[in-house]
Chains A and B, each alone.
Chain A
């Protein structure tokens, strides 16, 4: 059913359709509208779930961890500082192999305090053992949650999924979204049937002490499962297409005008809409440029990226996050994908843009293409205001 809705509202609707038994969240901008809507749906009796109000994100994550361990489908959502406050529980959820699905409404990290969009929050938790899937628009954000539950609860996987959607740009953006009908959702997403759960009748313990004789294997198993999951994503995406008629192909990357391109931008999330606009404009003028959009950032699709870009001479990687004091996060993975290989781009330059909600405009993207020359650059900031760098202290 196609509706013109706010992104957050659409997410609440798809979560309702997925019928989690327990929802717990603590409000934080720009995630708030999602959980406000869900609280309303539960209060109205439209969604038969327990909505657990908590005093912090650490507790929200702990509640969904516990509920998931008890064998019920769960949901939570957060942003920025809230995600950081959840951090130790986030790692625990993956370590205990619990199929939690979380929305991260991407937002900048303090300090300075900033409520606007970039992707520093989720990218900083890339090593947690969660899937990280980034939506370009609200239709994708909706569909990825549904796919997320299917993936997380897959018996071969049993790992948590973080659906990342750019704060405000998507969460508060109004778009036409085809909201999946309940009967189709039921067809695609069967009831959750846990492999292991906390049950007084058959007691087990989870997340116990694993001394040096055991710990390494627990981590290895997650690593291998995530690597194998690159293939499951494509399989689940195919089944999604059969039921809903929307084709996300292998769900790893999207190639937009990449085939014959001599310059390609690599990016992630909503900024790809802007980049596609630039690509279309420049293609109309005969310029061979393209976009490679990373959809699944963890596990990182190295082989898929290699196949897509091995014959492209120049690549620009656009990060909406930084690893302060080092190369930008996506750029590092991109360079790693080609290191030691026979083929690959001559230049992989890395650019940082849009931190703390600074608009990435069509002009910003043109600037990236202009700076993508034969000379490789790293973590080159776009749209920097030099006049703001003149404050002097300590004199």
Chain B
């Protein structure tokens, strides 16, 4: 019997966060967003996407839950919510 043993080379996009995100994830409220792009620029995973006001989102396949997007948002339009909370699809 063999378990996980070898890995073929690929892009880092293949390395999803899996089950080890922190207990919190960013929830984009889409109320007061001014499209300043601060959250997108500061995200260490580069997993925030969007262009227009109130249309930014985090790709939870790669988000680690660090919370710097919520921290830097000048409008406090991103909330860190628990994994169990309702919100965008995880």
Residues of A within 8 A of B (CB): 96-97, 158, 196, 203-206, 208, 210-215, 217-222, 224-225, 228
The answer to whether A204 and B19 touch (CB under 8 A), given A221-B2, A224-B1, A228-B1, is no
**A–B Cβ pairs within 8 angstroms, 14 of them:** A204-B6, A204-B9, A206-B5, A211-B18, A211-B20, A212-B18, A213-B18, A215-B4, A217-B3, A218-B3, A219-B3, A220-B1, A221-B1, A225-B2
Tell me, rounded to whole Å, the shortest Cβ–Cβ distance linking B81 to chain A: 23
Residue of B nearest to A206 (CB): B6
Residues of B within 8 A of A (CB-CB), count:
12
Number of A-B contacts (CB under 8 A): 48
List B contacts of A208 (CB < 8 A). 7
B4 x A96 contact (CB < 8 A): no
List A contacts of B18 (CB < 8 A). 211-213
The interface centre, meaning the residue of B1, B7, B9, B20 with most chain A CB atoms within 10 A of its CB, is B1
Partner of A214, one of B1, B4, B8, B9: B4
List residues 1-60 of chain B with CB under 8 A from any CB of chain A: 1-9, 18-20
Residue of B nearest to A156 (CB): B1
List B contacts of A215 (CB < 8 A). 4
A218 x B5 contact (CB < 8 A): yes
List A contacts of B9 (CB < 8 A). 203-205
B1 x A196 contact (CB < 8 A): no
List A contacts of B19 (CB < 8 A). 212-213
List A contacts of B6 (CB < 8 A). 196, 204-206
A96 x B20 contact (CB < 8 A): no
The answer to whether A218 and B20 touch (CB under 8 A), given A203-B9, A205-B9, is no
List A contacts of B2 (CB < 8 A). 97, 158, 221, 225
**Once bound together, how far apart are the Cα atoms of A217 and B1, in whole Å?**
10
A204 x B8 contact (CB < 8 A): yes
5 residue pairs, one from A and one from B, having the closest CB atoms: A221-B3, A218-B3, A217-B3, A214-B4, A204-B6
**Once bound together, how far apart are the Cα atoms of A203 and B7, in whole Å?**
9
List A contacts of B4 (CB < 8 A). 210, 214-215, 217-218
The answer to whether A97 and B8 touch (CB under 8 A), given A212-B19, A212-B20, A213-B19, is no
List B contacts of A224 (CB < 8 A). 1
Apart from A204-B8, A208-B7, what 11 extra A-B contacts exist at CB < 8 Å?
Answer: A97-B5, A204-B6, A204-B7, A204-B9, A212-B18, A218-B3, A220-B1, A220-B3, A221-B3, A225-B1, A225-B2
Residue of B nearest to A227 (CB): B1
**Once bound together, how far apart are the Cα atoms of A219 and B5, in whole Å?**
10
Tell me, rounded to whole Å, the shortest Cβ–Cβ distance linking B57 to chain A: 24
Tell me, rounded to whole Å, the shortest Cβ–Cβ distance linking A6 to chain B: 40
List A contacts of B5 (CB < 8 A). 96-97, 196, 206, 218
**Once bound together, how far apart are the Cα atoms of A96 and B2, in whole Å?**
10
List B contacts of A158 (CB < 8 A). 2
**Once bound together, how far apart are the Cα atoms of A196 and B4, in whole Å?**
13
**Once bound together, how far apart are the Cα atoms of A225 and B1, in whole Å?**
6
**Once bound together, how far apart are the Cα atoms of A215 and B18, in whole Å?**
13
List A contacts of B20 (CB < 8 A). 211-213
**Once bound together, how far apart are the Cα atoms of A10 and B4, in whole Å?**
38
